[in-house]
Amino acid sequence: MKSLIDRLKKVKEEAKSGGGIEKLKKIKEKGKLTPRERIDLLLDEGSFQEINLLVKYNVGAPGDGIIIGHGTIDGRKICVFAHDASVFGGSQGYMHGKKLYKIYEIALKSGIPIIGLNDSPGARVIRPDLAGSDDPYKVSDEKHAGVVFYINTKCSGTIPQISAILGNCTGGSVYSPALTDFIFMVDGISRMFITGPRVIEKVTGEKVDLETLGGAKIHSQITGICDFRVNSEIECFKEIRKLLSFLPSNYKELPPVIKCKDSPVRECIEIENIIPENPKTGYDVKKVIKSIVDNEEFLEIKKEFAQEVVIGFARLNGKTVGIVANQPIVKAGCMTVESSFKQARFIRFCDSFNIPLLLLVDTPGYLPGKQQEYEGIIRHGAKVLFALSEATVPKIAILLRKVYGGAALGMGILPGFGTDFVFALPTAEIGPMGAEQAVQLFYKDELDKAEDKEKFLKEKIEEYRKEYADSIAIASKVSYIDDIIEPKDIRKYAINHFELLKNKLREPFKNKWHDNMPL
């Protein structure tokens, strides 16, 4: 028995060496961590349990370029995989794909989150004369890397899926992460693209480097694919752990509740000084958010993309909430093509995983202009309406200052979108358009004839505001505004009413095969 045990230990140690010391050394020389270092830094110390350690490519490459298993983060079970770039560059061969598919199935069956540490160029390119049994196109099997997108889709809305891009990832190794819920990228080492620079130059003649084509900055600021851009792999793993602390393990569970030392009845006096009374004056809504939430802790998502809307996770009295807020210091808080995608996807994630929504509203409407129309603001704006209409989690909207026109729909202010409570501050204005624009439209002839145009305009604007836009006046005429509250009481009202809604009966929104969201 001892000799067999000794042999087993030796074989396992060899398997853990991946492509060998020299190849692992080359990974380190590129400023990257090895796959096993990544797993150890991500998970609780000593918690990783590997699966299929001894599975290998038919010519002996350990693990066939991927490590799979399970462990814990803050004591909670998760599944994880890490591409091993020391074995065939981390490319996806047949056994590699079988292992990848398998860990997703385990996570789905167990009802626990899955985290992918991606560092793969995608499908392995094999010379036909050397293909043998490893050629995925010569093996008949329904569960492999080429169809991991199917299991990604089955996991969607069932368990949280988190991807870290930690190398040059192409093809299937970017399509699969794109189907997951959140993507992390590290400056200097993370790149995502379908087609690499050499192929692009050969086909189109266009010259582009790796970073410009698909670096972390590009996907954080331009494409919006990246949710979190960080400076190092160590920071990446810390942020993944932080994100998980806000999320449940699956769709049947509620998010973790953290013991809160921040008083649920704390007043937010500073908000009175943050929000200017003049609807044209900008302010940073993130200051409002941090004032409201527990211990000023706010995990912002896609912070560099479509900054006219702010989304992210926070806690109120120790319980996770998803926040959607207009940002008045960027494009005046207008809603856009880009912000619609950002907002709708976040709302749908929160609704999938039992996370209540807090909507902080201050927007003049959808951004006008030919470019927005050409880019499909009608279709993209409809995504938000669709997401809000389908969302059955508790929803509370607070009108901070203004909402005009269709934005009242897109921010869930008007009745009919299932928003459970709508509160407004005394500074709030509601109307089909701003008071100044309305007066100039309705009183154009009188304004042209007025001797003192400035005085006439000022008087009419004041009249319009009092009659049609003023929140206190409107609250006396409509029932969808539940109360006008003081800024200092926002936290208290939000906590009280989310507590009221904690057992809200959520009726499934489906009696059909599936919906047809305006993608």
Query: Where in the sequence numbering do the catalytic residues fall?
Result: 171-172, 406-407
Report the C-alpha gap between 222 and 305 in whole angstroms: 7
Q: Which among 12, 125, 28, 4 is positioned nearest to 67, based on CA atoms?
A: 12
Phi, psi of 45 (to 5 degrees): -55, 130
Report the C-alpha gap between 460 and 456 in whole angstroms: 6
Distances (CA, A) of 375 to 45, 378, 388: 48, 9, 22
Distances (CA, A) of 127 to 61, 130, 195, 251: 17, 5, 20, 44
Q: Which among 193, 505, 227 is positioned nearest to 346, based on CA atoms?
A: 227
HEC sequence for 446-488 = HHHHCCCHHHHHHHHHHHHHHHHHEHHHHHCCCCCCCEECCHH
HEC sequence for 132-197 = HHHCCCCCCCCCCHHHHHHHHHHHCCCCCEEEEECCEEECHHHHHHHCCCEEEEECCCCEEECCCH
* Environment class of 370 (CB within 10 Å of its CB; exposed 0-12, middle 13-18, buried 19+): exposed
